[in-house]
Chain A
Amino acid sequence: MESRIKFSLNTQVVVLIVAIAMWIFLGIISPYFFTTGNVQSVMRQMTIQGILGIAEVVVIITAGIDLSVGGVVAFVNIVMSKMVSTGSNIASTVLLVMALSALIGLANGVMVYNLRIPPFIATLGMMSVLRGATLLISNGSNIFGLPRSIADFSSTNTLGIPNLFWFLILAVVIVEIILRYTSFGRYVYALGSNIEAARLSGVNIRNVTYGVYILASTLCGLAGVLETSRLWMGVPTTGTGYELDAIAAAVLGGASLMGAEGTPLGAFIGALVMTTIYNGSVLLNINPFWTRIIVGVILVVTVAIDQLRKGRR
């Protein structure tokens, strides 16, 4: 009986247990870990990665992948910095870059559905295009001169929780609601499980594909806006490698690249584990080069355990 309960644990719960174990360990070993300052710092650090993880999980559920998430972050960061530093209104700029992000998502959707380009290639191309555009717009150099208010936004808290983190919570809640309670959400999973069966059941595959990529890119746009606030400048190389962290967060949270599995909450937990490792290794004074190795090992081991568990069923 005991063991049956254990086997019904899903990846998310396993990863959450790993996270809690790490907290207990870090709490005992470093008195600084559970201080308000450090907890808030973890929250800030994980926000961008968490939101990108959620964006990624939405695409991964349809058995696709989005490699352009980091590219969107950098693109939004540079466009927003350039506009605001030359005097544009912040609110309207934010709306504009979000709309641009949605358009990028639509372009991804068109490539995947209409042109039948595999998502890996379509979004790889998009990533490269965005990276190039970002460098062109910024001339390859950082953009300064953003108003103080932008930086203040990310360093202040509301109700004791960093402003940035509220957006992550918001993203988790909204996307969870979309996937759980709307027909669009049902179709997203159906697409990932069996696109042909979904089509024969009258699901409009085109609209669902567009919707998925637009939702993902819009979330990346949000992450780009928050990144701009955090950096307080435009950095054309920002977001490099974020797509891999996003995929790692989604997969740690139980998403399967084969589709139909994964949740935004899972991606949140995945991002939490990865941020805890980064934070913990700073506190423990571990050579930061090691942290990436640790993240890699944890990712592979988690998925391996999950596969073995499924295989035994």
Chain B
Amino acid sequence: MNQEIAVLMKDITKVFPGVIALQNVTFSVKQGEVKGLVGENGAGKSTLIKILTGAYTADSGEIYVFGQKIDNMNPILAEQLGISAVYQNLVLAEHLTVAENIMLGTFPTKWGLVDKPAMNKKAEEILSQIGYRGIIKPEERVGNLSTSQQGMVAIARALSRNAKIIIFDEPTAVLTDREVNELFRVIRWLRDSGRSVIYISHRLEEIFELCDTVTVLKDGAVAGEKTVSETNQDQLVAMMVGREVRHGIFDDTRKIGEEILRVENLSNKKLKNCSFALRSGEIVGIYGLVGSGRTELAKALFGVDPVESGEIFLNGKEVSLPNPRESIDSGINLIPEDRRREGIALKLSVKDNINLPVYPRITKAGFVNRDKEKEIAQTFVNILSIKTPSLTHRVENLSGGNQQKVVVAKGLASQSRIFIMDEPTNGIDVGAKEEIYQLINNIAREGSGVIFISSYMPELMAICDRILVMRDGRIVADVERKDFDEESILALAIKHETMVGGETGGK
């Protein structure tokens, strides 16, 4: 087979405020090959793909498509060049039919009207190429199809646009094993028909089943490139890890005291028999990939998501936490993953945000004690050194780091003893991150327990006493600080079990 280079991205560098997302990354895909792209969260996979599809512009570097240098890549040009991405959350119009989705923007027309028979016929032809003639009907509404069938429609849409390079970003996260096999069959057909496929996945065994070659990214740089037949999972994991862990953040002067929280066999739709304990003064990390259940565990503990079975004990007493109010009153606080969507009310003042969880305490006969309100806000603005011109300043005008501190202030103001922090350092700059780490240490030093959820392992390794590893809604390991090892923790989180109750440990 002709092995012409379909895409060559050369020395790509992309800098976001405060972070270097990609540094001199060179990545190429040959015609008729399936190329795996792996790396931990934040390694730069999505950024690289977004540059290829023209959603982002690289700060420096060159892109060649079939040997032709492309200077100003943009989404329209990318499509014209035959680059098409089938995203994790598909972007199909659910209310339109299969044929309309496939042909959207290129409708065959007759006298200015859409020629429906021609459109359906064309769609049918494309569907039959990937073996779906008669299985997916062109007249069917896309909203009525299963997720995997919708994925096929997305592939058909790419084919109708003459796609030569097709990108799959975590396509199997929501599919069953059978659907995965079906998808792989279609991807192999794409390859055999001379197209190029870029396949991004966390599931390494899929890389070995499907891909010809694989590129590993780490911290925005290429950690290596391998021919799949000449490597193994352990080698890839070893290439993904090895990121620098900041020393000197860990605080060994903390006094770890009594158990303040114990969770036994907590289960719901997303969680399976999660059990763990937290002691006062302790910082426990939770590591897991996206979809491993870490955020769901936080939400179940905080009374946001329902608990179907299992027990929660606070200071040895069993409690039920049916809603956030109950949890806050019991001394639990959640710092949510999505700060802007769940953590703060952007249009309200710093003062109102900090006091939001504590109004019941400072309200008499419905009226807020305004002196107390100001005092509380001022106290925590001082303690956390939140940079704001005044207490009545709107939170939307603060920097990301200061917004995050406002969220932390809410927890402190409600006198919590258990802090669940879900990705607290997400989207804030390096200096602010450092401050958040110190804050976590301070909170623990005061005798509270902290559950620190993160997908960035170096920060967990830097600050935590223990790390719980989650995968598929389970806590699969509880790693003590002395046993911290990026490679083994990553392996625990990443290896997809095909048999339940299979392997349990290390590499």
**A interface residue numbers (CB < 8 A to B):** 181-184, 186-187, 189-190, 192-194, 196-204, 259-261
Contact = CB atoms under 8 A, between A and B. Distances in A.
Given A183-B359, A186-B359, A197 B344 contact: yes
Contacts of B328: 201-202
B368 A201 contact: no
B334 A200 contact: yes
Contact of A187 (B343, B347, B359): B359
A40 B336 CA distance: 54
Interface stretch (B97-105, B183-191, B196-204, B349-357): B349-357
B356 A203 contact: yes
A203 B323 CA distance: 10
B106 interface: no
Interface residues of B, number: 31
B352 A186 contact: yes
Given A196-B342, A197-B344, A200-B334, A190 B352 contact: yes
Contacts of A190: 345, 348, 352, 356
Contacts of B471: none
Nearest to A260: B347
Contact of A199 (B324, B346, B370): B324
Given A181-B370, A200-B336, A201-B356, A193 B348 contact: yes
Contacts of A186: 352, 355-356, 359, 368
Contacts of A189: 345, 347-348, 352
Contact of B324 (A183, A187, A202): A202
B341 interface: yes
Given A183-B368, A189-B347, A197-B345, 16 more contacts: A182-B363, A186-B352, A186-B355, A187-B359, A189-B352, A192-B347, A197-B342, A197-B356, A198-B356, A200-B302, A200-B324, A201-B324, A202-B360, A204-B325, A260-B348, A261-B347
A63 B354 CA distance: 22
B304 interface: yes
A201 B360 CA distance: 11
Contacts of A184: 366
Contacts of B359: 183, 186-187
B367 A194 contact: no
A201 B336 CA distance: 11
Contacts of B342: 194, 196-197, 200
A196 B346 CA distance: 12
Nearest to A199: B324
B294 interface: no
Contact of A181 (B302, B360, B367): B367
A180 to B, nearest CB: 9
Nearest to B363: A183
A193 B367 contact: no
B35 interface: no
A197 B407 CA distance: 10
A68 B343 CA distance: 33
B218 interface: no
A126 to B, nearest CB: 27
A192 B347 CA distance: 9
A199 B347 CA distance: 16
